[in-house]
Amino acid sequence: EAQVTQNPRYLITVTGKKLTVTCSQNMNHEYMSWYRQDPGLGLRQIYYSMNVEVTDKGDVPEGYKVSRKEKRNFPLILESPSPNQTSLYFCASSLNVGTGYNEQFFGPGTRLTVL
């Protein structure tokens, strides 16, 4: 089944404790992206990757890191999480953003709480 998976689905952690949220897709998509969703603010893009080894900042990249060493994986790294990073996170992938037809497939979400 074609899908985007995220792990963990739920995570409670403490301030300053490094964590990684994994994202994997099995559709051979070139494009992958991370979003966070907060009440009243909609979806905001954190980072995106056009292809392997190519990443770029979205609207709210501060406090996050990403890497794209292989096509299928796009982990989101919080080196020193803070309470304002408590949010619902979505990973998405798309075949190719260069065509205009860019149906993004979203993962189920990761709910992160930083105490």
Partner 1 sequence: DAKTTQPNSMESNEEEPVHLPCNHSTISGTDYIHWYRQLPSQGPEYVIHGLTSNVNNRMASLAIAEDRKSSTLILHRATLRDAAVYYCILHPWADRGSTLGRLYFGRGTQLTVWP
* Nearest approach, Cβ of residue 66 and partner 1 (Å): 12
Between CA 66 and CA 21 the distance in angstroms is 10
Instruction: Decide whether 58 or 63 has the Cβ nearer to partner 1.
Output: 58
* Nearest approach, Cβ of residue 20 and partner 1 (Å): 19
Q: Which residues bind partner 1 (CB under 8 A)?
A: 31, 33, 35, 40-45, 48-50, 56, 58-59, 90, 92, 97-109
**CB contact at 8 A, 76 and 55:** no
3-state secondary structure of 97: helix
Which backbone phi and psi does 34 adopt, to 5 degrees? -115, 140
Instruction: Decide whether 19 or 50 has the Cβ nearer to partner 1.
Output: 50
